[in-house]
Amino acid sequence: MMAEKIRVLLAKPGLDGHDRGIKVVARALRDSGMEVIYLGIRNTPEQIVETAIQEDVDVIGLSILSGSHMYHFPRILQLLKERKAEDIVVIGGGIIPQEDKEKLEKMGVKAIFGPGTSTQEIIKKIKELIGNKKN
């Protein structure tokens, strides 16, 4: 009997320390049946990628409010590639201008949620991205 679960790493790279939003998302994902590895705030890209690999997550969800998204997203994508782990889906949320959003999506970020996105929307998108084979 198989018992797969969608596993999601939630982290917050960069210096800003607001964790209320990401905690709400963490609880919502848990309540939808996912296993959420919560890494707190001020994580380095190296910490995030190493954790993603050790936890064998399907998705990395990043919250970036500090304006550092054009550094952190590409850096994490690059590290994943170096570790041959580019199959791990990267998504994110935060205040990200449309222009940057398009650039990041071209680089391989699979979804970017603006402020005020409902948790239901995020859950739906993750399930869509990972496929319905799980849960």
Asked if 109 interacts with other proteins (CB under 8 A), we say: no
55-90: burial string, b at 16+ Cβ within 10 Å, e else: eebbbbbbbbbbeebeebbbbbbebbeeeeeeebbb
The span of 46-54, 66-74, 94-102, 103-111 binding other proteins (CB under 8 A) equals: 46-54
CB 74, min distance to other proteins, A: 20
67-86: contacts with other proteins (CB under 8 A): 83-85
Task: Identify the residue among 13, 14, 22, 34 touching other proteins (CB under 8 A).
Answer: 34
CA angle 16, 18, 19 (to 5 degrees): 125
Return residues touching other proteins (CB under 8 A): 1-5, 26-27, 29-40, 43, 46-47, 50-51, 53-56, 83-85, 135
